[in-house]
Amino acid sequence: MKYANCSEEETNAAVDHIISQSKRIQNISNKLMALACMGDETIEMLPVKLADIIPDIEAALHPTIQDKRIEIHKNLQPITINGDAELLKSLLINVIDNAIKASDEASIIEIHADNASITIIDHGKGMEHDEIDKITESFYRVDQSRSRNEGGAGLGLALCTRICEVHNASLQIISAPGQGTTVKILFTTL
């Protein structure tokens, strides 16, 4: 903002976005601490419609999507998940953000949802098969330099795995170098 030539309206919108994201991060941090320290019983599970949380996910990722000129192609069937809306948002934001980071400029990321799953597909760098099992470990980063430059600590997918566990879901990852990555979140109970 310091060096940007923005109108007052754009500045106010940016400040509002920063404030809302700060509140969201604080809320998620509190919930993740509860997950880590107290177990699953502290999370209230309520029906969450995917269509209701998609706008917040898009708003959180909009600056990154816009900077890299990424196109998001969505094929979303109506799906309701019994869970925590903020944790589900965090799960999807983390997975989609990883897809954005792995993608070249002006790439396409696909998001599909059906009866019991949400799938995110990027056509980016991909990774070696032996990396797939490691990427959900805390502090593990496939691309050390990229993660450092973009502020990653290697916790995103470890948290995603924990969020999936709390929601009786699994995280399936398929990838190949130069062919991109597919992340499928499979819910066993909706």
At 95, which helix (H) or strand (E)? helix 85-102
pLDDT tens digits along 5-54 = 888 888 888 888 888 778 778 767 766 676 666 455 668 899 999 999 99
For 141, other C-beta atoms within 10 Å of its C-beta total 19
SS (H, E, C) 36-71: HHHCHHHCCCEEEEHHHHHHHHHHHHHHHHHHHCCE
Q: Which of 30, 1, 27 is nearest to 13 (CA)?
A: 1
Domains, the chain, in order of start with CATH, read 40-187 (3.30.565.10)
Among 102-111, 126-135, 145-154, top mean pLDDT goes to 102-111
